[in-house]
A and B are shown apart, each in its own frame.
Chain A
Amino acid sequence: MATPISRADVAHVARLARLDLTDDELSRFTDQLAAVLEHAGDLAAIDTAGVPPTAHPLELVNVLRDDVPRPCLDRDEVLAMAPAAEDGRFRVPKILGDAP
């Protein structure tokens, strides 16, 4: 299977996952992920030529409900649980940069 996971790999994955890990966590996770991935190495030995990956555990099609309007979540109740809200909307930190 693939080469052992490096500290740089772990740092890259942490950025993808939006986790600001500490140096200590980076070191610990590098060792622990390596151990789990090594255990998972037994999968590489299985002959899966021509075997489709499972997409769903059972032969089940999506269940659709009738497309009729019905009451949705109460806006005030939802926004009351938000970290910040303003004028009936979620308030978030700046998303776009300053105009050039």
Chain B
Amino acid sequence: MTALELAADVRSGRRRARDVVEEHLDRIAAREPDMHAFLHLDADGARAGAAAVDDRVARGEDPGPLAGVPVALKDNLCTRGIPTTCASRILEGWRPPYTATAVRRMVDRGAVVIGKTNLDEFAMGSSTENSAFGPTRNPHDLTRVPGGSSGGSAAAVAAGFAPLALGTDTGGSIRQPAGLCGVVGAKPTYGAVSRYGLIAFASSLDQIGPLAMTVADAAVLLEAIAGPDPCDSTSWPDPFAPLEVRPDVDGLRVGLIRELSGEGIAADVAARVAQAADALSNAGAKVDEATVPGVRYALSAYYLIAPAEASSNLARYDGVRYGLRVSRDDITSTYGATREAGFGAEVKRRIMLGTYALSAGYYDAYYAQAQRARTLLIRDFAAVYEHFDVLLTPTTPTTAFEIGAKTSDPLAMYLSDVCTIPSNLAGHPAISVPFGTGADGLPVGVQVLAPALGERVMFRVAALLEGVSP
């Protein structure tokens, strides 16, 4: 059952929110031990939230478009009084003193928080294997990764633990796991969703967005959480325009990014993208090859810019105000010992990379040059959108890989983000839609990219693809 159907039933009194929650808790009890999608299951909180929704319906009130819908939250979103760890030892046991705006908005519209999902530590990774509390497994094949870093959220939706989830996307962390788990995942325009209460990784790239079983469900969650917020100075100042989830692409110009086809993309994935392009063409879109030369440098630029910003953002974990402290005689030794004990290998690697890229003597060659390459990429996108309304690519180069396959080779892991990173660097929206399976029977995602604030047209294309998906 979709989130929209559930909410309609709860709003009209046909079903009780408390029964909806129990059904989902039963499903979680059956499969969660094999999957480890959650870091914290909040069964009592969910029951209380559902009871409050039922009470509102009983009083004749409308709880809102998400009435009684269980939502799983990536565990880098602050929830007052509920553990929030970022899958890191350094925040183990921390209970935030406030709730993220995006979470508050969806709860205000009737949603019920069911738990906090697993992620790569501080959202740094592409497989959820970097969680300090153990990996999540892909519900389609328990020997495979769910992708990452929002792997717990994607796996939870795919397994029916919750019809909706929130994830965050810095270089593909919503879309890549959505693709590998066969669900819908959208990264909105930079600034479309307030980040107040999102634990920062790379501030010029991070965005919160929805994961869902259907395009329409993703749209209703995005509409619920989007919009300006006085608590986030980077939030877009205008109200978020309502989305259109109708499968109408007649006359739209669709570009296939040449730099993200061919080499590096598995043949079975490329075949699905070609099939999606044909479907759009048959539905009246004009499909043509597009070139975005800056995409070739996007991965290199990203893996300097994101770690640089992370090295600055993660300086706050110093053992003073919250989280772990490993006590030493003086403050500097306490910092070093706390951070050494509290951070995992990938987080340390990125802090090191970022600190190096920002350090005296290397700043211009690495960080500044990466930001100049980013400017060129943004200009390339502006040029290509003169001729196209949306762009189409694979979401990931391959289907879900085996657990452990890439953990010893960071660069190989980073390459799984090659298709998703350009949208983050440009601040543009993009969505992954399930589109059939690969040769191994595992889900394939196709990605629709749009220019800034192009969510409306992006969701129309996504709706069309969903309807014709093999």
Q: In the complex, how many residue pairs between chain A and chain B have their CB atoms under 8 Å apart?
A: 185
Q: Shortest beta-carbon distance, A19 to chain B, in Å?
A: 5
> A-side binding surface: helix, strand, loop or mixed?
loop
Q: Convert B109-127 into 0s and 1s, putting 1 for each residue whose CB lies closer than 8 angstroms to a CB of A.
A: 0000000000000000000
Out of B232, B297, B328, B414, name the residue touching A93 (CB < 8 Å). Answer: B328
Given A18-B336, A21-B348, A94-B331, does the pair A44, B365 have CB atoms closer than 8 Å?
yes
Q: Determine whether the beta carbon of B365 is less than 8 Å from that of A2.
A: yes
CB contacts (< 8 Å) of A94 on chain B: these are 329-331
**Which of B12-20, B132-140, B269-277, B369-377 lines the interface with chain A?**
B369-377
Q: Determine whether the beta carbon of A43 is less than 8 Å from that of B300.
A: yes
Would you call A32 an interface residue if the criterion is a C-beta within 8 Å of the partner chain's C-beta atoms?
Answer: yes
CB contacts (< 8 Å) of B410 on chain A: these are 32, 35-36
A82 to B339 CA separation, bound complex (whole angstroms): 16
**Which of B64-72, B245-253, B355-363 lines the interface with chain A?**
B355-363
Would you call B461 an interface residue if the criterion is a C-beta within 8 Å of the partner chain's C-beta atoms?
Answer: no
CB contacts (< 8 Å) of A17 on chain B: these are 311, 339, 351-352, 355
Would you call A52 an interface residue if the criterion is a C-beta within 8 Å of the partner chain's C-beta atoms?
Answer: yes
Q: Which residues B192-233 have CB closer than 8 A to chain A?
A: 204-205, 228, 230-233
CB contacts (< 8 Å) of B189 on chain A: these are 58
Would you call B323 an interface residue if the criterion is a C-beta within 8 Å of the partner chain's C-beta atoms?
Answer: yes
Given A29-B352, A44-B369, A48-B369, does the pair A39, B232 have CB atoms closer than 8 Å?
no
Q: Determine whether the beta carbon of A43 is less than 8 Å from that of B301.
A: yes
CB contacts (< 8 Å) of B323 on chain A: these are 83
Q: Determine whether the beta carbon of B336 is less than 8 Å from that of A20.
A: yes
A38's nearest neighbour on chain B, judged by CB, is B411
B: contact size bracket: 35 or more
Q: Which residues A21-75 have CB closer than 8 A to chain B?
A: 21-22, 25, 29, 32-33, 35-37, 39-44, 46, 48, 51-58, 60, 62-66, 73-74
Would you call A16 an interface residue if the criterion is a C-beta within 8 Å of the partner chain's C-beta atoms?
Answer: yes
Q: Determine whether the beta carbon of B352 is less than 8 Å from that of A73.
A: no
Q: Shortest beta-carbon distance, A3 to chain B, in Å?
A: 10
Q: Determine whether the beta carbon of B321 is less than 8 Å from that of A90.
A: yes
Q: Determine whether the beta carbon of B98 is less than 8 Å from that of A64.
A: no
A21's nearest neighbour on chain B, judged by CB, is B340
A26 to B13 CA separation, bound complex (whole angstroms): 61
Q: Which residues B344-396 have CB closer than 8 A to chain A?
A: 345, 348-349, 351-353, 355-356, 359, 361-362, 365-366, 368-376, 378
Q: Convert A1-16 into 0s and 1s, putting 1 for each residue whose CB lies closer than 8 angstroms to a CB of B.
A: 1100100011001101
Out of A9, A29, A54, A93, name the residue touching B349 (CB < 8 Å). Answer: A29
A35 to B303 CA separation, bound complex (whole angstroms): 12
B377's nearest neighbour on chain A, judged by CB, is A54
Given A44-B369, A46-B297, A56-B204, does the pair A32, B349 have CB atoms closer than 8 Å?
yes
Q: Convert B441-470 into 0s and 1s, putting 1 for each residue whose CB lies closer than 8 angstroms to a CB of A.
A: 000000000001000000000000000000
Q: Determine whether the beta carbon of B331 is less than 8 Å from that of A93.
A: yes
CB contacts (< 8 Å) of A53 on chain B: these are 368, 371-372, 374-375
Given A1-B365, A18-B335, does the pair A81, B352 have CB atoms closer than 8 Å?
no
Q: Shortest beta-carbon distance, B92 to chain A, in Å?
A: 12
A93 to B329 CA separation, bound complex (whole angstroms): 7
Q: Shortest beta-carbon distance, B300 to chain A, in Å?
A: 4
Would you call B304 an interface residue if the criterion is a C-beta within 8 Å of the partner chain's C-beta atoms?
Answer: yes
Given A43-B370, A60-B236, A74-B97, does the pair A33, B356 have CB atoms closer than 8 Å?
yes
Would you call B313 an interface residue if the criterion is a C-beta within 8 Å of the partner chain's C-beta atoms?
Answer: no
Q: Which residues B149-174 have CB closer than 8 A to chain A?
A: none
B307's nearest neighbour on chain A, judged by CB, is A36
Q: Determine whether the beta carbon of B366 is less than 8 Å from that of A40.
A: yes
CB contacts (< 8 Å) of B235 on chain A: these are 63
A42's nearest neighbour on chain B, judged by CB, is B300
Q: Shortest beta-carbon distance, B187 to chain A, in Å?
A: 12
Would you call A99 an interface residue if the criterion is a C-beta within 8 Å of the partner chain's C-beta atoms?
Answer: no
Q: Which residues A80-97 have CB closer than 8 A to chain B?
A: 81-84, 90, 92-95
A64's nearest neighbour on chain B, judged by CB, is B233
Would you call B183 an interface residue if the criterion is a C-beta within 8 Å of the partner chain's C-beta atoms?
Answer: no
Would you call B94 an interface residue if the criterion is a C-beta within 8 Å of the partner chain's C-beta atoms?
Answer: yes
Would you call B54 an interface residue if the criterion is a C-beta within 8 Å of the partner chain's C-beta atoms?
Answer: no
Would you call B425 an interface residue if the criterion is a C-beta within 8 Å of the partner chain's C-beta atoms?
Answer: yes
Q: Shortest beta-carbon distance, A51 to chain B, in Å?
A: 5
B356's nearest neighbour on chain A, judged by CB, is A13
Out of A19, A33, A62, A83, name the residue touching B320 (CB < 8 Å). Answer: A83
A72 to B235 CA separation, bound complex (whole angstroms): 21
Q: A2-B361, A92-B334 are in contact. List 4 more A-B contacts (CB 8 A).
A: A42-B300, A52-B372, A82-B321, A94-B331
Sampled A-B contacts (11; CB under 8 Å):
A1-B365, A10-B352, A13-B355, A29-B352, A37-B353, A40-B300, A43-B373, A60-B191, A63-B234, A78-B321, A94-B331
Partner-B contacts on A (CB < 8 A): 1-2, 5, 9-10, 13-14, 16-22, 25, 29, 32-33, 35-37, 39-44, 46, 48, 51-58, 60, 62-66, 73-74, 77-78, 81-84, 90, 92-95
* Among all A-B residue pairs, the 8 with the closest Cβ atoms: A57-B427, A53-B371, A65-B230, A83-B325, A20-B336, A48-B372, A20-B340, A54-B374
